[in-house]
Structure 1
Amino acid sequence: MSTATALAGYPFTPHRVEVGGHRMSYVDEGDPTAPPVLLVHGNPTWSFYYRSLLQALPARGRRVIAPDHIGMGLSDKPTPEDYPHTLARRVADLTAFVDGLELTEPVSLVVHDWGGPIGLAWAAEHLDRVRDVVVMNTGAFPLPADHGLPWMLQAARLPVVGDVLVRRLGAFSLGALVLGTGRAWLPPEARRGLLAPYDRPEHRVAVQAFVRDIPLGPDDPAHPVLVRLAARLPDLDARPVQVHWGMKDPVFDADILAHVEHHLPHAEVHRYPDAGHYVLEDATPAIVERVGAFLDRR
């Protein structure tokens, strides 16, 4: 995909900045002097996932910023040899990105999926730069011992099978369109947009790497990052937190939500019984209005 402007539903002009030797693409909408909102996406999505908030929140007096992780969306897509593709590096990249924005006031942070560990790990180390937090279907702690992975994720993590399924065939991105929604199928605009940057194997390196980086035990590289983050969640709970949860999510299910509520007991929680992992796609009007009202309170 050469430009984002060719996509229906994504009428934004991408900006680019160098982060750690690679170009990171991001969208920056609204008055640059307005209170900032930082949107951090997961896998296999990109800033397109937040298009509804990118359009709605500037009209409510917010500056809305949505980066694409390195290897994702419109950002550079380096090889495994040129980029580590680890959670720790993702957090470092987000830190460098936010530092480069030179913001003069705290941000409202919105996270989904892998954007949760990445964005919340940054927030936990920079509490003075966080105004409030919105959480959507994610985890900010190691998976509970009795919580297994769906077969699709297990297969995608296998060295040879995962390489064929995720990188060569794009089956993970395609499967997410089905398993990620509580509906029969996402609308054409959403399907085309979510898949657009991952149109060939070399553009799906980061998609595969994110799956492989899911920590299942203490020996996995991402595990200590999540352990540290879980210990810091009580500090984040002191900030206003709003949670939106698609209850048909096959991975971040009701059990994971219960753990989120345990770690963030003061959070305002909204459940969407008919929504899946792509909760913002399935419940767009309700979430956009509730997020806007939540941010307006402050």
Structure 2
Amino acid sequence: MTRYPDYPFTSHRFRHASGIHQHYLDEGDGPPVLMVHGNPSWSYMWRRPVLALRDRFRCVVPDHIGMGLSDAPGEDRYTYTLASRVDDLDALVEHLITAHGAPETGWTLIMHDWGGPIGMAWAARHPHRVARLVVCNTAAFPNPHGERFRPTLRMPFWLLRDTHAGERLFLRHNAFARLATSPPFGVLRPMPRAVRAAYLAPTSRPGTRRAIQRFVQDIPLGPGDRAWPLLHQTGRALAQFSGLPTLIGWGLRDPVLDKAILTEWRRRFPEARTHVYRHAGHYLLEDTDQHFLTELRQFLRH
């Protein structure tokens, strides 16, 4: 793993019933902490929290199918949908509980980007398992802006999701992943060259980029979208978790997951401990150095 800076971890692979292998990290001992990434990232984005927490916690960090170091099957073998992602997470956690001694309860769930809908849909299936929540520039409810993106995002979203040009940008040029790791789209400060290379390494070939495109195409904006029923159901299920200890960390310069989404989280979780970073973007952990990491460590240790 030397090609990935600050990622000195042992790789594990879980074989799903379909025969597809999912890569994950399982570092440390203690209360379990489940970290769920979004699009277009992978478990590498959680490297600093794992390094900071594994002395006292068991850090479980999966790569979604088709991303990171997991298998990237064709669509004849895998359906790249929100529901499939939730099923994958459910199967992995059950495997760790039944075969690798993970506890049935007491899980802290940390979520970023698509990790919110995936993680909270999993939590809604097993509310007794979840003890704490950590929310980082994500959503798990319908878009507070309604069924359309804000005007500045409508054209890019349409181009990427619904056109042949968008498909070429995704599959031939890896444009989405490249933009997401560049200022001002995903971060405000340029990532170190080796760190950005690590983020992009799993998508170095066109055949490994399909999952990124499918995540964008699966964004649920209204009842006509495939992922909408599950997102709507997940949003309704959030109320049962509102009494849990919750930490919200938010980069205010996120161009997509904006302040309106943060406001909705705070409305639904009024007792949450919230830390807002005015000079951070979508990749909160990259832009805030140790600041949010310190808050996370303190939250988990009390």
TM-score range (shorter-chain normalised) is over 0.9
Residue in structure 1 matched with residue 186 of structure 2 by the alignment: 180
**Structure 2 matches for 1:203-282, cutoff 5 A?**
203-282=208-287
Asked whether the 8 Å contact 1:156–1:165 carries over to 2, the reply is: yes
The answer to whether structure 1 residue 123 and structure 2 residue 123 are counterparts is: yes
SS for the counterpart of 2:274 is: strand
How many residues align? The count is 290
Q: Take 2:157 and 2:199, find their aligned partners in 1: how far apart are those partners? A: 19
Partner residue, 2:73:
78
Structure 1 pair 116–20 and aligned structure 2 pair: CA distance change class (3 A): farther
More displaced stretch, 6-15 vs 41-50: 6-15
Letter of the 1:25 partner, please give it.
H
Q: CA deviation at 1:147?
A: 5.5
Answer yes or no: is the 8 Å Cα contact 2:4–2:195 preserved in 1: no
The counterpart of 2:64, out of the listed 65, 69, 81, is: 69
Q: Which residue of 1 aligns with 2:149?
A: 148
CA 1:270/1:71 → structure 2, altered by over 3 Å: closer, same or farther?
same
CA contact under 8 A between 2:106 and 2:130: conserved in structure 1? Answer: yes
Shift in CA distance, 28/134, structure 1 to aligned 2, threshold 3 Å: same
TM-aligned CA deviation for residue 6 of structure 1: 2.4
Aligned counterparts of 1:243 and 1:79: Cα–Cα separation in 2:
36
Secondary structure of the structure 1 residue equivalent to 2:202? coil
Partner of 1:40: 36
Report if aligned partners of 2:3, 2:198 keep a CA contact under 8 Å in 1: no
- The residue aligned with 1:52 is 48
Q: Aligned pair 1:100/2:62, yes or no?
A: no
Say yes or no: does 1:28 pair with 2:26: yes
> What percentage of residue pairs aligned between the two structures are identical?
44
Helix, strand or coil for the counterpart of 1:122? helix
Structure 1 gap segments, 5+ residues each: none
Query: 1:16 is aligned with what amino acid?
Result: R
Matched letter for residue 7 of structure 1: Y
Return 5+ residue gaps in structure 2 as ranges. Answer: none
Match of 1:10 in 2: 7
Aligned residue number for residue 161 of structure 1: 165
- Per-residue deviation at 1:153? 3.0
Deviation at 1:256, TM superposition (A): 1.1
Write the deviation string for residues 243-291 of structure 1: whole angstroms up to 9, x where unpaired: 0000000000111111111222221111000000001111130111111
Determine the C-alpha separation between the residues in 1 that align with 2:63 and 2:147. Answer: 32
In the other structure, the counterpart of 2:206 is 201
Contact 2:27 2:50 in 1 (8 A): yes
With normalisation by structure 1, the TM-score equals 0.94
1:7-56 deviations in whole A, cap 9, x for unaligned?
2221112100112421000011112xx11111000000000000001111
* 1:242 CA drift (Å): 0.4
Q: For 2:76 and 2:262, how far apart are their aligned partners in 1?
A: 36
Secondary structure at 1:214's aligned position in 2? coil
Report the Cα distance in structure 2 between the residues aligned to 1:217 and 1:207, rounded to whole angstroms.
Answer: 21
CA distance in 2: counterparts of 1:128 and 1:294, whole angstroms: 20
Pairwise CA distance, 1:189: 2.8
CA-based RMSD of the aligned residues comes to: 1.3
Asked whether the equivalents of residues 147 and 222 of structure 2 are also in contact (C-alpha less than 8 Å), the reply is: no
Distance 1:158 1:146, change over 3 A: closer
Please tell me whether the aligned partners of residues 181 and 275 of structure 1 are also in contact (alpha carbons under 8 angstroms).
yes
Structure 1 20/5 Cα, relative in aligned 2: closer, same or farther at 3 Å?
Answer: farther
Aligned partners of 1:126, 1:108: CA distance in 2, in Å? 13
More displaced 10-residue stretch of structure 1: 242-251 or 253-262: 253-262
> C-alpha displacement at 1:146, in angstroms?
6.7
- In structure 2, the CA distance between the partners of 1:5 and 1:17, relative to structure 1 (3 Å rule), is farther
CA distance in 2: counterparts of 1:130 and 1:202, whole angstroms: 36
Counterpart CA distance in 2 for 1:155 and 1:19 is: 34
1:182–1:274 contact (8 Å) kept in structure 2:
yes
How far did residue 81 of structure 1 move?
A: 2.2
